[in-house]
Amino acid sequence: MGKRGPKRKPTAILKLHGSRAVEQRKGEPIPPSGRPRCPSFVDDYAKQAWKQLIPQLEEMGVLAKIDRNALVRYCQTWSRWRNCVEFINQNGETYPLRDNDGNVKCLQQWPQVGIYNKLADSLLRLEVQFGLTPSARAGLTVQKKQQSNDQAARFFGGGA
């Protein structure tokens, strides 16, 4: 039998919430931050999602190299969801079932509609894990890196 009760929040998240429980936690692993590489086996939609998502997570200060596999799953799930969206946009959500005389008996939902719904649920669970929804970000505060957009300051050594 697995552990009971709600999943423990990582200490970093508790710290962001200002929880006093942080003082009681010791020895929790802290993964090194950094940008994971996009694997070559993902399809074009997944690569597009990766290129959009990674800089945003990095800017939010929640990206670590160890997140690669979860990010790959998110991007691949996004790609499959997007394929379902395209199919539904092209074919609609239902198709007619006909009797032997060619009369429409009823409308049947395409399998892609059910797949679309399951993938949307999976995407939402992953988005919450990465703080990609407004409610997931509520109450979180992270230390942002100081960035200078002034090119002259960067050239003369005053910027990032």
Band the pLDDT of 143: cuts 50, 70, 90: low
Does the CA dihedral 46-50-56-58 come out positive or negative?
A: positive
What is the rounded distance in angstroms from the CA atom of residue 106 to the CA atom of residue 90? Answer: 20
Band the pLDDT of 33: cuts 50, 70, 90: confident
87 vs 22, higher pLDDT: 87
CA distances to 14, 40, 59, 81, 83 from 90, rounded to whole Å, are: 45, 29, 36, 14, 11
Q: How many CA atoms lie within 13 A of 55 on its CB side?
A: 5
Which amino acid is it at 119? L
What is the rounded distance in angstroms from the CA atom of residue 158 to the CA atom of residue 108? Answer: 64
Which of 89-93, 106-110, 125-129 shows the lowest per-residue confidence on average (mean pLDDT)? 125-129
Which amino acid is it at 29? P
- 71 has a pLDDT exceeding 90: yes
pTM: 0.72
